[in-house]
Amino acid sequence: MTTLTTKPRPGQLVRVIVHSELKSRLRRLINKMFNGLDYQSEEYFGEVKDLPHLPVNQFALSTGNVNFPIRVITVDQIKSIYIDGERCKFNIEVGTRTVNVESSRPGAFYNVTVVDGKPTKCTCPGFGYRRDCRHLKLAALND
């Protein structure tokens, strides 16, 4: 089983099982009454499409369904994923988070912004001038 550390790439064939969007108890109860099943997950199959406007925690599938030709999948909804027929373990840290990195002055800290697992910004003066600093490297090492 391959461990996936990034989103699937455009052009890959993906079968993904996600947590059901039927969030309310009433909708699930009605669905269970009429269909006899309590759906906890949904399955989608398609080719990954490149949609640049999507946030880092989402990717798009072309489904072949005329009503929903593109399905946007949010990473934290995924139960299991198969890419090009191979089951993958999904271990992705997505989104934006802030890491505190100690300054060279004792007791002082700078905030490093990490986007999709990669340090991108720092609040130190050096980053303001050079767009690079040692705090980015320290945040990458600690990640």
Within this chain, do residues 107 and 86 fall inside the same structural domain, yes or no?
A: no
State the residue range of the domain holding 110.
Answer: 96-142
For the stretch 7-43, pLDDT in tens is 788 899 999 888 765 555 666 666 666 655 545 677 8
Name the pTM for this structure.
0.51
- Assess whether 80 and 111 both reside in one domain: no
Q: Considering its fold, how many domains does the chain have in total?
A: 2
| Higher pLDDT pick, 53 / 129 | 129
> Do 111 and 84 sit in the same domain of this protein?
no
Domain boundary among 90, 107, 130: 90
pLDDT computed for residue 133 by the predictor: 92
Q: What is the pLDDT of residue 38?
A: 47
Least reliable range by pLDDT among 3-7, 107-111, 120-124:
3-7
The DSSP annotation for the chain comes to -EEE-SPPPTT-EEEEEEE-S--SHHHHHHHHHHHS----EEEEEEEEE--TTS-TTEEEEE---SS-SEEEEEGGGEEEEEETTEEEEE----SEEEEEEE-SSTT-EEEEEEETTEEEEE-SHHHHHHS--HHHHHHHHH-
Q: Quote the mean pLDDT of the chain.
A: 78
